[in-house]
Amino acid sequence: MSSESTDNLNSYEKMQEIADFILGQTEIRPRIGIICGSGLSGIGDLLSEKRTIPYTEIPHFPKCKVSGHRGELSLGLLEGVPVVCFQGRCHYYEGFGMSEVVLATRIMKLLGAKIMIVTNAAGGLNPSMKVGDMMIIKDHLNFLGLSGISPLRGSNEDRLGPRFPSLTDLYDGGIRQIARAVAVSMNIQHEVHEGILAALGGPSYETVAELKFLRLAGVDAVGMSTVHEAIAARHCGMLVFGCSLITNECIVEYGTNREPNHEEVIEASKNGANKFATFISKLVSGLRQQDTIA
Protein backbone atom coordinates (compact mmCIF):
# COMPACT_ATOMS: atom_id res chain seq x y z
CA MET A 1 0.00 0.00 0.00
CA SER A 2 1.33 3.45 -0.80
CA SER A 3 1.78 6.04 1.91
CA GLU A 4 -0.79 8.25 0.18
CA SER A 5 -3.84 8.88 2.30
CA THR A 6 -6.23 6.17 1.22
CA ASP A 7 -7.95 5.90 4.59
CA ASN A 8 -9.57 2.71 3.38
CA LEU A 9 -8.86 0.45 6.33
CA ASN A 10 -12.14 1.10 8.11
CA SER A 11 -13.52 -2.23 6.96
CA TYR A 12 -13.91 -4.57 9.93
CA GLU A 13 -13.63 -7.55 7.60
CA LYS A 14 -10.25 -6.34 6.31
CA MET A 15 -9.00 -5.85 9.86
CA GLN A 16 -10.23 -9.33 10.79
CA GLU A 17 -8.37 -10.72 7.78
CA ILE A 18 -5.16 -9.07 9.01
CA ALA A 19 -5.70 -10.36 12.56
CA ASP A 20 -6.41 -13.89 11.31
CA PHE A 21 -3.22 -13.79 9.22
CA ILE A 22 -1.16 -12.82 12.29
CA LEU A 23 -2.82 -15.39 14.56
CA GLY A 24 -2.02 -18.04 11.96
CA GLN A 25 1.73 -17.34 12.39
CA THR A 26 2.03 -18.12 16.10
CA GLU A 27 0.51 -19.78 19.15
CA ILE A 28 0.88 -16.53 21.14
CA ARG A 29 -2.45 -14.92 22.05
CA PRO A 30 -1.50 -11.41 23.26
CA ARG A 31 -3.04 -9.83 26.36
CA ILE A 32 -1.07 -6.61 25.97
CA GLY A 33 -0.22 -4.64 22.83
CA ILE A 34 2.79 -2.33 22.72
CA ILE A 35 3.48 0.41 20.18
CA CYS A 36 7.13 1.44 20.00
CA GLY A 37 7.99 5.07 19.33
CA SER A 38 10.97 6.45 17.41
CA GLY A 39 14.10 4.49 18.30
CA LEU A 40 12.26 2.41 20.91
CA SER A 41 11.75 -0.81 18.94
CA GLY A 42 14.24 -2.53 21.26
CA ILE A 43 11.37 -3.36 23.65
CA GLY A 44 10.54 -6.18 21.22
CA ASP A 45 14.04 -7.63 21.62
CA LEU A 46 13.16 -8.61 25.21
CA LEU A 47 10.48 -11.08 24.07
CA SER A 48 10.97 -14.83 24.42
CA GLU A 49 9.32 -17.43 22.17
CA LYS A 50 9.31 -14.62 19.63
CA ARG A 51 7.80 -14.61 16.16
CA THR A 52 8.62 -11.49 14.12
CA ILE A 53 6.64 -10.54 11.03
CA PRO A 54 7.74 -7.67 8.72
CA TYR A 55 4.86 -5.31 7.93
CA THR A 56 5.60 -5.97 4.22
CA GLU A 57 4.40 -9.58 4.71
CA ILE A 58 1.09 -8.63 6.35
CA PRO A 59 -1.81 -8.18 3.94
CA HIS A 60 -3.15 -4.59 3.69
CA PHE A 61 -0.70 -3.37 6.33
CA PRO A 62 0.71 0.15 5.75
CA LYS A 63 4.49 0.43 5.50
CA CYS A 64 6.05 2.99 7.81
CA LYS A 65 9.19 4.62 6.49
CA VAL A 66 10.45 7.05 9.13
CA SER A 67 13.96 6.28 10.38
CA GLY A 68 13.95 4.81 13.87
CA HIS A 69 10.92 2.65 13.06
CA ARG A 70 11.75 -0.94 12.14
CA GLY A 71 8.54 -1.81 10.33
CA GLU A 72 7.82 -5.19 11.86
CA LEU A 73 5.81 -6.69 14.68
CA SER A 74 6.83 -9.31 17.21
CA LEU A 75 4.63 -11.64 19.22
CA GLY A 76 6.07 -13.40 22.25
CA LEU A 77 6.31 -13.46 26.02
CA LEU A 78 7.42 -10.43 28.01
CA GLU A 79 7.87 -11.28 31.70
CA GLY A 80 5.77 -14.36 30.95
CA VAL A 81 2.90 -12.28 29.56
CA PRO A 82 1.84 -12.85 25.93
CA VAL A 83 2.27 -9.56 24.08
CA VAL A 84 2.31 -8.14 20.58
CA CYS A 85 4.86 -5.44 19.97
CA PHE A 86 4.51 -3.12 16.97
CA GLN A 87 8.06 -2.02 16.20
CA GLY A 88 7.29 0.99 14.05
CA ARG A 89 4.26 3.21 13.53
CA CYS A 90 2.61 5.19 10.77
CA HIS A 91 2.37 8.93 11.35
CA TYR A 92 -0.32 11.25 10.03
CA TYR A 93 2.35 13.61 8.67
CA GLU A 94 3.64 10.81 6.40
CA GLY A 95 0.41 11.12 4.43
CA PHE A 96 -1.39 8.18 5.98
CA GLY A 97 -5.06 8.46 6.78
CA MET A 98 -6.18 8.19 10.39
CA SER A 99 -7.53 4.66 9.87
CA GLU A 100 -4.00 3.63 8.85
CA VAL A 101 -2.45 5.51 11.77
CA VAL A 102 -4.58 3.55 14.26
CA LEU A 103 -4.65 0.23 12.41
CA ALA A 104 -2.08 -1.36 14.75
CA THR A 105 -4.24 -0.43 17.73
CA ARG A 106 -7.35 -2.02 16.26
CA ILE A 107 -5.43 -5.09 15.19
CA MET A 108 -4.08 -5.64 18.71
CA LYS A 109 -7.66 -5.48 19.96
CA LEU A 110 -8.73 -8.11 17.43
CA LEU A 111 -5.75 -10.24 18.49
CA GLY A 112 -7.16 -10.23 22.03
CA ALA A 113 -5.18 -7.49 23.82
CA LYS A 114 -6.87 -5.87 26.83
CA ILE A 115 -4.27 -3.17 27.44
CA MET A 116 -2.34 -0.94 25.06
CA ILE A 117 1.05 0.44 26.06
CA VAL A 118 1.86 3.27 23.67
CA THR A 119 5.23 4.99 23.60
CA ASN A 120 6.84 7.88 21.77
CA ALA A 121 9.78 10.21 21.51
CA ALA A 122 8.79 13.67 22.69
CA GLY A 123 10.24 17.12 23.20
CA GLY A 124 10.44 18.21 26.83
CA LEU A 125 8.70 21.52 27.43
CA ASN A 126 8.55 21.41 31.21
CA PRO A 127 11.96 22.73 32.33
CA SER A 128 12.23 20.00 34.96
CA MET A 129 12.44 17.38 32.20
CA LYS A 130 15.85 16.47 30.85
CA VAL A 131 16.82 14.51 27.77
CA GLY A 132 16.64 10.82 28.69
CA ASP A 133 13.87 11.31 31.26
CA MET A 134 10.52 9.60 30.86
CA MET A 135 7.05 11.03 31.15
CA ILE A 136 4.07 8.91 32.11
CA ILE A 137 1.22 10.46 30.14
CA LYS A 138 -1.50 11.64 32.49
CA ASP A 139 -3.63 13.32 29.83
CA HIS A 140 -3.28 14.89 26.43
CA LEU A 141 -4.06 18.00 24.41
CA ASN A 142 -4.82 16.88 20.88
CA PHE A 143 -4.54 19.79 18.47
CA LEU A 144 -5.57 17.67 15.49
CA GLY A 145 -8.51 16.21 17.34
CA LEU A 146 -9.73 19.61 18.50
CA SER A 147 -10.09 20.58 14.85
CA GLY A 148 -11.89 17.39 13.84
CA ILE A 149 -9.02 15.22 12.60
CA SER A 150 -9.97 12.07 14.45
CA PRO A 151 -9.49 8.33 13.91
CA LEU A 152 -13.20 8.05 14.76
CA ARG A 153 -14.33 10.35 11.93
CA GLY A 154 -16.66 8.69 9.45
CA SER A 155 -19.36 6.11 9.97
CA ASN A 156 -18.94 4.36 13.30
CA GLU A 157 -17.98 0.67 13.38
CA ASP A 158 -20.28 -0.51 16.16
CA ARG A 159 -18.38 -3.81 16.46
CA LEU A 160 -15.37 -1.77 17.65
CA GLY A 161 -17.04 0.74 19.94
CA PRO A 162 -19.56 3.53 20.46
CA ARG A 163 -20.20 6.58 18.27
CA PHE A 164 -19.42 9.06 21.06
CA PRO A 165 -16.82 7.61 23.44
CA SER A 166 -15.70 9.52 26.50
CA LEU A 167 -12.02 10.34 26.90
CA THR A 168 -12.24 11.09 30.61
CA ASP A 169 -9.39 9.35 32.46
CA LEU A 170 -8.17 8.00 29.12
CA TYR A 171 -4.76 7.10 30.57
CA ASP A 172 -5.64 4.53 33.21
CA GLY A 173 -4.98 5.70 36.77
CA GLY A 174 -4.36 2.22 38.15
CA ILE A 175 -1.71 1.43 35.56
CA ARG A 176 -0.05 4.79 36.12
CA GLN A 177 0.15 3.96 39.80
CA ILE A 178 1.88 0.66 39.04
CA ALA A 179 4.27 2.52 36.71
CA ARG A 180 5.18 5.00 39.44
CA ALA A 181 5.92 2.09 41.78
CA VAL A 182 8.11 0.52 39.08
CA ALA A 183 10.06 3.78 38.81
CA VAL A 184 10.67 3.72 42.58
CA SER A 185 11.73 0.05 42.46
CA MET A 186 14.28 0.94 39.74
CA ASN A 187 15.38 3.99 41.75
CA ILE A 188 14.69 6.26 38.77
CA GLN A 189 11.70 8.11 40.25
CA HIS A 190 13.53 11.46 39.84
CA GLU A 191 13.77 10.75 36.06
CA VAL A 192 10.18 9.59 35.63
CA HIS A 193 7.68 12.46 35.48
CA GLU A 194 3.97 12.47 34.93
CA GLY A 195 2.39 15.08 32.70
CA ILE A 196 0.41 16.35 29.77
CA LEU A 197 1.39 15.44 26.21
CA ALA A 198 0.38 17.78 23.40
CA ALA A 199 0.03 16.22 19.97
CA LEU A 200 0.87 18.44 17.02
CA GLY A 201 0.64 17.50 13.38
CA GLY A 202 4.36 17.66 12.53
CA PRO A 203 6.59 16.99 10.71
CA SER A 204 7.99 20.44 11.45
CA TYR A 205 8.96 21.06 15.03
CA GLU A 206 7.25 23.88 16.92
CA THR A 207 7.96 27.60 16.72
CA VAL A 208 9.04 29.46 19.83
CA ALA A 209 5.65 31.21 19.93
CA GLU A 210 3.80 27.89 19.72
CA LEU A 211 5.89 26.45 22.53
CA LYS A 212 5.27 29.49 24.74
CA PHE A 213 1.55 29.11 24.06
CA LEU A 214 1.65 25.38 24.89
CA ARG A 215 3.50 26.06 28.12
CA LEU A 216 0.81 28.50 29.17
CA ALA A 217 -1.74 25.79 28.44
CA GLY A 218 -0.03 23.45 30.91
CA VAL A 219 1.68 21.17 28.40
CA ASP A 220 4.74 19.25 29.65
CA ALA A 221 5.90 17.50 26.46
CA VAL A 222 5.17 17.67 22.74
CA GLY A 223 4.88 14.88 20.19
CA MET A 224 3.51 13.96 16.78
CA SER A 225 1.79 10.67 17.56
CA THR A 226 0.32 8.52 20.36
CA VAL A 227 -2.91 10.39 21.09
CA HIS A 228 -4.69 9.01 17.99
CA GLU A 229 -3.81 5.46 18.99
CA ALA A 230 -4.93 6.19 22.56
CA ILE A 231 -8.32 7.43 21.31
CA ALA A 232 -8.78 4.38 19.09
CA ALA A 233 -7.84 2.10 21.99
CA ARG A 234 -10.41 3.73 24.30
CA HIS A 235 -13.02 3.52 21.52
CA CYS A 236 -12.57 -0.25 21.27
CA GLY A 237 -12.50 -0.80 25.03
CA MET A 238 -8.81 -1.26 25.81
CA LEU A 239 -7.09 0.23 28.86
CA VAL A 240 -4.36 2.68 27.88
CA PHE A 241 -0.94 3.40 29.33
CA GLY A 242 1.21 5.99 27.54
CA CYS A 243 4.82 6.89 28.14
CA SER A 244 7.15 9.36 26.39
CA LEU A 245 10.91 9.33 26.30
CA ILE A 246 12.14 12.92 26.37
CA THR A 247 14.53 13.13 23.43
CA ASN A 248 15.14 16.86 23.15
CA GLU A 249 14.63 20.02 25.13
CA CYS A 250 12.17 22.35 23.44
CA ILE A 251 13.80 25.62 22.44
CA VAL A 252 11.60 28.34 23.92
CA GLU A 253 13.89 31.36 23.40
CA TYR A 254 14.80 33.21 20.21
CA GLY A 255 18.36 33.48 18.92
CA THR A 256 19.90 30.56 20.79
CA ASN A 257 21.40 28.98 17.64
CA ARG A 258 19.91 25.69 18.81
CA GLU A 259 17.33 23.73 16.83
CA PRO A 260 15.62 20.39 17.31
CA ASN A 261 16.31 17.71 14.70
CA HIS A 262 15.41 14.08 14.11
CA GLU A 263 19.02 12.87 14.41
CA GLU A 264 19.15 14.20 17.97
CA VAL A 265 15.80 12.50 18.68
CA ILE A 266 17.09 9.15 17.40
CA GLU A 267 20.40 9.50 19.24
CA ALA A 268 18.62 10.27 22.53
CA SER A 269 16.20 7.38 22.11
CA LYS A 270 19.12 5.05 21.34
CA ASN A 271 20.81 6.17 24.56
CA GLY A 272 17.64 5.83 26.61
CA ALA A 273 16.25 2.71 24.92
CA ASN A 274 17.57 0.09 27.36
CA LYS A 275 16.30 1.80 30.48
CA PHE A 276 13.01 2.56 28.77
CA ALA A 277 12.60 -1.08 27.69
CA THR A 278 13.41 -2.32 31.21
CA PHE A 279 10.83 0.10 32.63
CA ILE A 280 8.15 -1.18 30.25
CA SER A 281 8.95 -4.83 30.90
CA LYS A 282 8.82 -4.30 34.68
CA LEU A 283 5.49 -2.55 34.20
CA VAL A 284 4.20 -5.60 32.33
CA SER A 285 5.41 -7.77 35.20
CA GLY A 286 3.57 -5.46 37.62
CA LEU A 287 0.39 -5.74 35.56
CA ARG A 288 0.63 -9.53 35.68
CA GLN A 289 1.08 -9.52 39.46
CA GLN A 290 -1.95 -7.27 39.88
CA ASP A 291 -4.02 -9.48 37.59
CA THR A 292 -4.88 -6.40 35.50
CA ILE A 293 -4.67 -8.52 32.38
CA ALA A 294 -6.74 -11.47 33.60
Ligand X SMILES: O=P(O)(O)O[C@@H]1C[C@H](O)[C@@H](CO)O1
Ligand Y SMILES: Nc1nc2[nH]cnc2c(=O)[nH]1
253 annotated as ligand-binding: no
Q: Which stretch binds ligand Y (CB under 6 A): 55-63, 172-180, 221-229, 275-283?
A: 221-229
| 94 given a catalytic annotation | yes
60 annotated as ligand-binding: no
200 binds ligand Y (CB under 6 A): yes
Which positions from 48 to 77 touch ligand Y by CB under 6 A, shown as an x/- string?
A: ------------------------------
Q: Which CB, 194 or 210, lies closer to ligand Y?
A: 210
Q: Which does 276 bind (CB under 5 to 8 A by kind): ligand X, ligand Y, none?
A: none
Q: Which CB, 38 or 52, lies closer to ligand X?
A: 38
163-192: which residues touch ligand X (CB under 6 A)? Answer: none
Q: Which CB, 224 or 243, lies closer to ligand Y?
A: 224
223 binds ligand Y (CB under 6 A): yes
**Rg from Cα positions in the chain:** 18
250/125 Cα distance (integer angstroms): 5
Q: Which does 124 bind (CB under 5 to 8 A by kind): ligand X, ligand Y, none?
A: none
| 166 given a catalytic annotation | no
101 binds ligand Y (CB under 6 A): no
10 Å CB burial of residue 193 (0-12, 13-18, 19+) is buried
Note the residues at the interface with ligand Y (CB under 6 A): 121-123, 200, 202, 205-206, 222-224, 247-248, 250, 260, 265
Residues designated as active site: 38, 69, 91, 93-94, 121, 224-225, 248, 262
